[in-house]
Amino acid sequence: MGQPRALLAGSGIAVPPLEIDNDTLSRIIDTHDRWIRERSGIVTRFYVEPGTSSSDLGAEASRKALEDAGVEGDEVDYIVCATMTPDHYFPGAGTLIQQHLGLRPVPALDLRQQCAGFAYGLQTVDALIRSGIARTVLLVGCDVHTSLMPFSSRTWEVLHDESKGPLEPEDFEWNSRFRHLLVLFGDAAGAMVFKAHEVDDGRGILGARLYGDGSRSDILMVPGGGSRNRPFVTPEMIAGAGMVPVMDGRSVFKLAVTRMPKVTREVLEAYGYTLDELDLLVMHQANLRINEAAQKALKLPSEKVFNNIQKYGNTTSATLPLCFHEARQAGKAKEGSLVALTALGAGLHWGSVLMRV
């Protein structure tokens, strides 16, 4: 046996308590259940209580993953955290998760690849374990999208049933400006624990094909709140919606339906497998229609694809572990199963990772 492989030892998820259905959203946004279901497949999503951050959710998912893996906190010798909504501008959420978990000081790496963050994290874990730098790695994907939602406190009151409503027309109009975006997202976290595996039985992370292309960064981004601005945030920027993500949904859709199947084929081919040998495909959950089109392009039967966007919406870095964990619970990722985890997100970043459970 040469290098050790990164073998999945356990997984866990954290889902916040506030379940928001499409009808509830239509109280604060000019939208309706049918539009959201037909265009995206989403039925509900979950929001955190005010004050709950990405690292809080990340730590909760991590505790569950460690318990599932039967791994004590002091065994963890590296943390990799993917989030696009860190608790603060800096530091990142990795060390905050280490602190929440009460772990000894270990290297903690933050990744900024948005919806593809967890896929990049899997490749990082693979490299850390194969190289011998780490033997037990905690990989976390956590995002609190509600922090990016430009709602007034009155909107939140109506949403949380603390006030009867209806919303004032100005608030309703403002929220509706972003309706194509706001209905898609939810908060969640997912975590996986990987251990160095010395047995040469083909199990573990097998490899990845990842890409980044800044030429399309404009189709999905937050224009304000960065070093291009001095100061990085101003009251005018907030008033002008500069802190709200900008999304050209159609362009993202078109890229996702072509690149996700292409890169899934590529990673299988690169490691000597066929689509027939694939047991499970877990894709980023941005839109059920994207995933249905990708499944069709790959000619995969429904039992080999698992989606849960219907329940959680798009939770960015958390979609891959959240979806994988539920697929595993449903018996679709048993020991020995060949799984591809494929994503595309802002940056653009996209890619696919192959692992044998």
Site residues, ligand ACO (CB under 6 A):
31, 35-36, 39-40, 114-115, 179-180, 183, 220, 245, 247, 249-250, 252-253, 256, 286-287, 314, 316, 345-346
β 305-306/204-212 pair status: unpaired
Q: How far is the CB of 151 from ligand ACO (least distance, A)?
A: 15
Catalytic choice (22, 81, 142, 284) = 284
CB 110 within 8 A of CB 93: yes
Minimum distance from residue 130 beta carbon to ligand ACO (Å): 29
User: For residues 130 and 216, which CB has a smaller minimum distance to ligand ACO in the complex?
Assistant: 216
Smaller CB distance to ligand ACO: residue 35 or 211?
35
Name the percent of the chain in helix, strand, coil, to the closest 5. Answer: 40, 25, 35
Here the contacts of 170-174 (C-beta below 8 Å, separation 24 or greater) are: 171/28, 172/28, 172/29, 172/30, 174/150
The minimum distance between CB 226 and ligand ACO, in angstroms, equals 15
182 and 175 in contact (C-beta within 8 Å)? Answer: yes
Pick between residue 172 and residue 273 the one whose CB is nearest to ligand ACO: 172
Cα gap 209→178, rounded to integer Å: 33
| Catalytic annotation, pick one of 142, 314, 325, 349 | 314
CB of 245 within 8 A of CB of 181?
Answer: yes
For the question of residue 291 being annotated catalytic, the response is no
74 touches 98 (CB < 8 A):
no
**Which residue of this chain has its Cβ atom nearest to ligand ACO in the complex?**
249
Instruction: Dump strand ranges (E) for 230-336.
Output: 246-247, 280-283, 305-306
CB 251 within 8 A of CB 310: no
Shortest Å distance, C-beta 26 to ligand ACO: 8
- Closer to ligand ACO by CB, 29 or 158: give it: 29
Residue 248's SS3 state is coil
Nearer CB in complex with ligand ACO: 247/270: 247
Please name the residue that has the structure tokens 């922090």.
147
Smallest gap from Cβ 52 to ligand ACO, in A, equals 20
The CB-of-346 to ligand ACO minimum distance in angstroms stands at 4
Specify whether 314 is catalytic. Answer: yes
> For tokens 């951050």, what's the residue?
53
Based on the residue annotation, tell me whether 88 is a catalytic residue of this protein: no
Q: Quickly list DSSP for 2-29.
A: -SPEEEEEEEEEE--SEEEEHHHHTTTS
Active-site annotation, residues: 115, 284, 314
